[in-house]
Amino acid sequence: MVNSSPAVAAHAEGEEIEVLETTDVLPAAPEDQWKSLFDKHDPENSGCISTEHFRDLLKAYGSELDPHKLEVLIALADGNADGKICYQDFVNLVSNKRSNSFRRAILQGSRQLRNSALREEVGLGLSQRLVRHVAYETLPREVDRKWYFDSYNYCPPPWLMLAITIAEVIVFMYYGLQLNCWVLQVSSPYFLKSPLPYHPQLRVQAWRYLSYIFMHAGIEHLGLNMAMQLLVGVPLEMVHGALRIGLVYVCGILAGSLAVSVADMTAPVVGSSGGVYALVSAHLANIVMNWSGMKCQFKLLRMAMALVCMSVEFGRAVWLRFYPPAFPPSPNPSFVAHLGGVAVGLTLGIVVLQNYEQRLQEQSLFWIFFSVYSLFILCGIFWNIFAYSLLDVKLPPPP
């Protein structure tokens, strides 16, 4: 049975009230419904309508939208200087597509929101409270947090960080049983014989520049990396997605191994510290740069604890590098990969985390940092091909 009751849209500035018959303009699909409503006020087929008409449509039909999205759309209408709202901008906003219109609405909405904060909402289930907690942990603007809260549905789940962590634990347990050693596995003569760690004598095996993350020097190494990876990486993946966080993580890993091959040419590399430090340093820098907007609890204390954990792990790596090796002349693993990860986090990582609301390909700063990173990778490749022979570096024997 078709509902034929009229919906009333009041025009601004005293215009006459227009009666829109539901049977004419409300097809089954929501997008078609809104397209019909836009077309009703767009006789020239320009794709845009006035902000006044758009505001009237929101008043009449906004109850069909998520309340937090409705807030952002109203803020977009109130703050649009050109007096026009395009249908495509509306679709992008409602469908959560990162776009310039999304970014404009976020920036305007953050100044114009009038309703209560997300933290004050009650009656939420466990999963909703988790999403709200993640929003306050990672996003600096209230309108970002509300938009994320409405949009996130655990599909897909944060699988990437979990899968990498599980793989690291499995590999560590396998070699722990094989070597019969759990603390300082690197002291075993068979540790570097694995096909996974980066070794300068085996740098022609290109997969080692990435696969070294699955090997760890010992349970103390794995434990610290795993804690930071899960506590920081999983929430970031829930907000920014596996593709963006995976980009930062992999760039940190590759930068770490290449940095070792340039700055510590005789040392092997193990551990996921390059990727972990890229994520953690980007997250901490994002908090500092948006200090007043970040509403996570005890942020100063927790930031201090994160820096302590990073310092302890880095100090452990420096100590191990200069500790007399168990089987000279083969040196212990390098610590330089940590610095490569930090460099990626403070450049490419910050751009990714600061632009939750916009496509990365629309950010000129992203392309600048990505170009610099690509140039570093290219230089690192040429360095590995030519520098070792030109500098006559004396490498340790292969494992």
Determine the pLDDT at residue 114: 46
CB atoms within 10 A of CB 198: 28
Number of residues that this document lists for the chain: 399
Phi-psi region of 154 (alpha: psi -120 to 50; beta: other; left: phi over 0): left
Determine the pLDDT at residue 186: 84
DSSP string, 71-105: HHHHHHHHH-TTSEEEHHHHHHHHTT---HHHHHH
Beta-bridge partners for 9? 18
Please name the CATH architecture into which domain 159-391 falls: Up-down Bundle (1.20)
Give the DSSP H or E segment for 53.
helix 51-61
- Tell me the residue type at 347: T
d(CA 265, CA 280) in angstroms, rounded, equals 26
Determine the pLDDT at residue 399: 81
Where does the chain hold its CATH 1.20.1540.10 domain(s)? 159-391
Q: Cis ω on the peptide bond leading into residue 329 (within 30° of 0)?
A: yes
Catalytic residue among 194, 273, 330, 334: 273
Give the predicted TM-score (pTM) of the model.
0.75
Nearest to 78 by CA among 58, 108, 49, 104: 108
DSSP string, 182-240: -SSGGGSTTGGGSSSSB-GGGTTSTTHHHHGGG--SSHHHHHHHHHHIIIIIHHHHHHH
Is residue 253 within 8 A of residue 272, CB to CB? The reply is yes
The pLDDT tens digits along the chain (399 residues) read: 334 333 333 333 333 333 333 333 333 345 667 788 888 888 888 778 887 787 788 778 776 666 666 666 666 666 655 667 777 777 776 665 555 555 555 555 444 444 556 777 777 888 888 998 898 888 888 877 887 887 788 888 999 999 999 999 999 999 999 988 888 888 888 888 999 999 999 999 999 999 999 999 999 899 999 999 999 999 999 999 999 999 999 999 999 999 999 999 999 999 999 999 999 999 999 899 888 888 877 888 888 998 999 999 999 999 999 988 877 777 899 999 999 999 999 999 998 888 776 677 777 888 999 999 999 999 999 999 999 999 998 888 888
Determine the pLDDT at residue 263: 95
Does residue 41 have an active-site annotation? no
In whole angstroms, how far apart are CA 369 and each of 176, 239, 287, 363?
39, 22, 20, 10
d(CA 47, CA 88) in angstroms, rounded, equals 8
- SS3 call for 45: coil
Nearest to 199 by CA among 190, 185, 189, 212: 212
Residue given tokens 């600048």 in the structure block: 368
Does residue 4 have an active-site annotation? no
Q: What is the CATH number of domain 25-98?
A: 1.10.238.10
Catalytic residue among 221, 240, 283, 338: 338
